Structure 1
Amino acid sequence: MNVKLKEKISESLSAVLPITGIVLMLSVFLIPMELGSVVMFLTGALMLIIGMGFFQLGAEMAMTPIGEGVGVQISKMQKLLTVLLTGFLMGVIITVSEPDLQVLAGQVPSVPNEVLILTVALGVGFFLALAIVRIRYKISLSMLLIVCYLVLILVSMFVPKEFLAVAFDSGGVTTGPMTVPFIMAMGVGLASMRSDKNAANDSFGLVALSSVGPILAVLILGCFFKPTEAAYSLTDVATVVTTQDVARVFAQGLPLYAKEVLISLVPILWVFLIFQWMTHRYHGVQIKRIVIGFGYTYIGLVLFLCGANVGFAPVGAYLGKELAAVSFRWILVPIGALIGYYIVKAEPAIQVLNHQVEAVTNGAISVKMMNRCMQIGVAASVGLAMLRVLTGISIQWFVIPGYIIALVLSRMVPDIFIGIAFDSGGVASGPMTSTLLLPLSIGVCEALGGNLMTDAFGVVALVALTPLIAIQLMGLVYKAKTAKKTQTVPAAIADDCDMIVDLEEGE
């Protein structure tokens, strides 16, 4: 086996095992599951581990170099209009290729799928162009985010409450496993052409602004459509008796996701071919490596999405329904927090972000630090999501204060933490959130007889929110430690000078 692939699969194993263990423990001690359902879940977990390993290697070999190349080329463009059009087209093409968006479109009632997908794609395209201009002209990310989120909060006041959760969810699902590696690498490529001291800081923030676009676009769309009920239908755990039954169920799902991922990859493949034809940037070995990377990405996403949707999603819905039926249903809050703490490491795009952060900061912000902060943030968000389902509290009471806190913190932390924090919010809410946490939330809501549109939806939005606060709090700690070290060094130098003076006087 390829040594690098073996390393990536090993990382995936350590990421998926904890959440697998939690579900198995729940099935043993709290919510009994049929043996067939457990086998389906474990098979899905195995596919997740292998798929995540292939995907990470594929993103490293293909998405990252293409994104960086496009970023470098855009930074060389002289005309602002050309820059804006290129950024806009890149945003639209990449968004349409995101598998998570197809899932969201099928869940929103009263809005045709094509209308929602186009609306979200236009939102991402516009804000990606804005993000590129920000890097080009060194505009403050903090100030830009404050303006954007204040506009979001203002617009949200005029949108029907049934549409709010879906709108904020759309910002999370748009920045998924297909878009994140490409957009992040694009930011690195754009910033690499600058020689100023803030270039590394400005390489982050593209995902953050790209997440704002779809939220604003769907909020505006909500002013014209009036959804009253959710179209989401939960899938029951397949009834299996033998190992052949398990193989048959997954074999039926594989062609569907193989087609879905192929459709998603084709636009990015076209971007690569056109870009290569126009610039001749890559040669021989590089082209071969990128083509192999596309193959790894394809295999990885097919296995990952099939494992998540066929093996994990039905179990999530089942656990939600059963946990809501127990007499001490408030246990959902700590169980949700525990699942959130461990599930974030199983998001494929999270590891891409964390390794990129470690590389750009030369290890000052490590993968371990990022993982820990993201885990704490997502644990809090899933706990709050379960609290919302149980109580029916409007998502506005969580989202608006949360974003205000995040924006206030953005004026207090070092610049690099702002981009990383707001990027992490979009990255945290990926396919694992939509295939395990959302069905879990909907299962609970259905069991309690709640309103799916107002109570169950919104878990993706909360998962996208809390990392913003957690990462920036880490930035405050980092800032305090750095300041302390800065004060300690001059004090030590002063002590040494006093000692020298004393010695000279003694002579």
Structure 2
Amino acid sequence: MMELLGEFKTTAWSVVMAVLPLAVLFLLFQIFLLKLPRSDVRKILTGTAIAAAGLFLFLAGVAIGFMPYGTAIGEALGALPQKWLLLPAGLFLGFATTWGEPAVRILADQVDDASNGSIRRSMVLYAICIGVSVMVGIGFLRIGYGISLLHLLIPGYALIVIIMWFSDSRFVAIAIDAGGVATGPLANTFLLALALGASAAMGNQDPLVHGFGLVALIAMAPILSLMTLGLLIRWKEFRKETRNA
């Protein structure tokens, strides 16, 4: 019970330190620049309090449930004699975790709104989820077979630089932002805990070397998948223009 209360206290302090500076900054702008009506200020502060409460509940749930749960699953997967099973497990868990990532859904909604529906929300969401799914599967295989992280990151980012020159410029900008939102609280807790648990279960691996690094692969995944989607769309438009010429 005391451990649970200590976790609540640590989480509450983290939320205060995250939200309080933003609230103070808003009040300073309100006093010196914005001069919004009191009703608007009341709504903003009420929304901030609700967001802080929701953030506290989410982070507390992640710390109490997701991280131990992820570590336990990772240890069970790492103990399997068939290391290739890490690939399908990573594909499924990577897709499911990204599907539930709040920041990914917010980005997909913003892209749909900003493009007036020309870049659909579902298209962005599926592209990010599939990209992260594939990269988490590869990341789990890396842990299972002791592959160096550099052997994945260097070719991956080299491929990104190449695709960037040929992809649709709209998707290049979206992809760069997607690399940040994909590494949200679920990826940084549940998936990272999975990787650390799997690496620790191997017995002959240093979790600091093989367990960490998965988030770097996750950050690279949506950049690759969305730029590839932009490349396919640009190729489709080029074929259409050539056919009509």
> Under a length normalisation based on structure 2, what TM-score does the superposition of the two structures give?
0.92
SS at match of 2:166: coil
Which of 446, 453, 458 in structure 1 is aligned with 2:200? 446
Task: Establish whether residue 339 from structure 1 lines up as the match of residue 93 from structure 2.
Answer: yes
Task: Establish whether residue 481 from structure 1 lines up as the match of residue 236 from structure 2.
Answer: yes
Q: 1:331 to 1:482 in 2, by over 3 A?
A: same
Residues paired across the two proteins, number: 244
Which of 124, 148, 157 in structure 2 is aligned with 1:394? 148
Corresponding residue number in structure 2 for 1:144: none
CA contact (8 A) 2:83 2:141 kept: no
Q: Deviations over 1:233-286 (max 9, x none)?
A: xxxxxxxxxxxx8xx976653333122101111111122122222321633443
More helix by share: 2
Measured in 1, the distance between the counterparts of 2:156 and 2:38 equals 49
Corresponding residue number in structure 2 for 1:255: 9
Corresponding residue number in structure 1 for 2:165: 411
- Structure 2: where are the runs of 5+ without partners? none
Which of 299, 313, 320 in structure 1 is aligned with 2:74? 320
Work out the percentage of aligned pairs sharing the same amino acid.
33
Task: Establish whether residue 462 from structure 1 lines up as the match of residue 217 from structure 2.
Answer: yes
Corresponding residue number in structure 1 for 2:178: 424
Instruction: Give the aligned residue type for 1:474.
Output: L
Corresponding residue number in structure 2 for 1:366: 120
CA apart distance, 1:361: 0.7
Measured in 2, the distance between the counterparts of 1:263 and 1:276 equals 21
CA apart distance, 1:485: 4.4
Q: Whose Rg is larger?
A: 1
Which of 345, 348, 351 in structure 1 is aligned with 2:105? 351
Q: 1:347 to 1:250 in 2, by over 3 A?
A: farther
Instruction: Give the aligned residue type for 1:263.
Output: M
Instruction: Give the aligned residue type for 1:468.
Output: I
Task: Establish whether residue 434 from structure 1 lines up as the match of residue 188 from structure 2.
Answer: yes
SS at match of 2:162: helix
SS at match of 1:411: helix
Q: 1:285 to 1:362 in 2, by over 3 A?
A: farther
CA contact (8 A) 2:146 2:210 kept: yes
Instruction: Give the aligned residue type for 1:483.
Output: F
CA contact (8 A) 2:183 2:219 kept: yes
SS at match of 2:165: coil
Q: Deviations over 1:289-342 (max 9, x none)?
A: 321221121011111111111111101111111222222232112101110011
Instruction: Give the aligned residue type for 2:34.
Output: H
Corresponding residue number in structure 2 for 1:384: 138
SS at match of 1:363: coil
CA contact (8 A) 2:196 2:207 kept: yes
Instruction: Give the aligned residue type for 2:180.
Output: G
Measured in 1, the distance between the counterparts of 2:155 and 2:36 equals 47
Taking the TM superposition and a 5 Å limit, the aligned residue runs for 1:183-262 are 253-262=7-16
Which of 302, 313, 330 in structure 1 is aligned with 2:56? 302
CA contact (8 A) 1:250 1:306 kept: no
CA contact (8 A) 2:192 2:214 kept: yes
CA contact (8 A) 1:337 1:382 kept: yes
How big is the alpha-carbon RMSD for the aligned residues of Structure 1 and Structure 2?
A: 2.0
Q: 1:315 to 1:275 in 2, by over 3 A?
A: same
SS at match of 1:435: helix
Measured in 1, the distance between the counterparts of 2:124 and 2:77 equals 31
